[in-house]
């Protein structure tokens, strides 16, 4: 069973059609990511229509300037919803700097604490802020399986630094890009029991769909490429990753009854 461990369903032109197409392609679970309070609430509502759609709630680093204690109290409530399996995406993005550093740091710290209080993993976004983010993680009392580094775009040595802290590593369509040799090397080498894959829809469509709007059904291209890198049959590889998903996100049902 294919799993898209990170998608933004509400950012798709037609989420309903996209879920249907994903189901036809053999995708059995999707974790749809909130980027703020409003999108998190709407994503939970959408997830109730589908057996295999789950939600991560939080404030994206780009929107960290909207952070407030009142908003976090709402996320505190949402974290108890059976469809909410993670907190985030959260982290640090110093590339675009859509929110000031201090706001991003404050938001990230609050999200990590929220995740710990509810025994949920957190979904980490990092760009041009690797050293500061790693320093923050090392200074935090992380439990077992604290979360996932989503859309990993670094090399194997960088991946190891996160693995040493207990994180899973998730690979997106970037792994299929021509110049992503270091990412492919990491995908081939990290322990398979720590590996996830995703689309990050509607962004980063994999080859051969590159340049188009991405959607969850395209996760098959990411899965196929990584299974080939590791010399494993696709079915065997996707089974291992399915088990990884249910280990990291315990609220995701282990059934294989399908997405819809």
Instruction: Return the domain boundaries, the chain.
Output: 2-248
Q: Write out the CATH class of domain 2-248.
A: alpha beta
- C-alpha 67/C-alpha 133 separation (Å) is 18
Contacts of 70 (CB under 8 A, 6+ apart): none
| Cα angle: 164, vertex 126, 1; to 5 degrees | 70
Counting Cα atoms < 13 Å in the Cβ hemisphere of 83 gives: 24
- Give the model's pLDDT for residue 144: 87
Paired tokens of 245: 């998903």
Confidence bin at 97 (pLDDT 50/70/90): very high
Over range 56-66, report the average pLDDT.
98
Would you state the structure tokens that stand for residue 13, as one six-digit string?
């032109």
Mean residue pLDDT of the chain comes to 98
DSSP 4-22: EEEE-GGGSS-HHHHHHHH
The region of weakest confidence among 81-85, 182-186, 222-226, 251-255 is 251-255
Q: What is the DSSP letter of 60?
A: -
Provide the pLDDT for residue 143: 85
Task: Indicate the pLDDT class of residue 8, thresholds 50, 70 and 90.
Answer: very high
What integer pLDDT is reported at residue 206 of this predicted model? 99
Q: pLDDT band at residue 214, thresholds of 50, 70 and 90?
A: very high
- Interval 188-206 mean pLDDT: 99
% pLDDT > 70, the chain: 100
Closest by Cα among 89, 76, 151, 153 to 117: 76
Residues 6+ apart with CB under 8 A from 231: none
Per-residue confidence band for 185, with pLDDT thresholds at 50, 70 and 90: very high
138 φ/ψ angles, rounded to the nearest 5 degrees:
-65, -25
Q: Is 260 exposed, middle or buried (0-12, 13-18, 19+ CB in 10 A)?
A: middle
Q: Quote the tokens at residue 34.
A: 């909130």
Tell me what pLDDT residue 114 has: 98
Is 256 a residue whose pLDDT tops 90? Answer: no
Q: What is the share, in percent, of the chain residues with pLDDT greater than 90?
A: 97
pLDDT at 100: 98
Q: Which two tokens stand for residue 27?
A: 């995708």
CA separation, residue 166 to residues 34, 121, 234 (Å): 23, 11, 26
Q: Map residue 55 onto helix, strand or coil.
A: strand
Please report which confidence band the pLDDT of residue 34 belongs to, taking 50, 70 and 90 as the band edges. very high
Position 259 scores a pLDDT of 95
Q: Give the closest residue to 53 by CA, choosing from 23, 94, 11, 95.
A: 23
């Amino acid at each position: 069973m294919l799993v898209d461990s990170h998608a933004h369903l509400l950012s798709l032109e037609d989420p309903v059609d996209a879920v249907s197409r994903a189901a036809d392609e053999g995708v059995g679970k999707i974790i749809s990511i909130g980027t703020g309070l409003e999108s998190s609430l709407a994503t939970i509502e959408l997830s109730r229509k589908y057996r295999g759609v789950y939600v991560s709630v939080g404030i994206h680093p780009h929107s960290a300037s909207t952070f407030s204690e009142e908003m976090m109290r709402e996320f505190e409530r949402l974290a108890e919803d059976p469809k909410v399996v993670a907190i985030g995406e959260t982290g640090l993005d110093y590339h675009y700097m859509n929110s000031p550093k201090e706001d991003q740091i404050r938001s990230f710290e609050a999200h990590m604490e929220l995740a710990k209080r509810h025994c949920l993993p957190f979904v980490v976004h990092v760009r041009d802020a690797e050293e500061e983010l790693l320093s923050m993680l090392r200074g935090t009392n992380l439990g077992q399986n604290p979360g996932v580094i989503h859309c990993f775009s670094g090399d194997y040595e960088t991946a190891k630094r996160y693995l040493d802290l207990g994180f899973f590593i998730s690979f997106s369509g970037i792994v299929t890009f021509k110049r992503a040799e270091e990412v492919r090397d990491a995908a081939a080498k990290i322990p398979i029991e720590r590996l996830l894959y995703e689309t990050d829809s509607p962004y980063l469509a994999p080859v051969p769909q590159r340049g188009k709007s991405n959607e969850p059904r395209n996760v098959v291209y990411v899965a196929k490429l990584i299974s080939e890198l590791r010399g494993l049959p696709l079915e065997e590889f996707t089974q291992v990753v399915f088990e990884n998903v249910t280990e990291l996100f315990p609220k995701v049902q282990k059934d294989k009854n399908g997405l819809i």
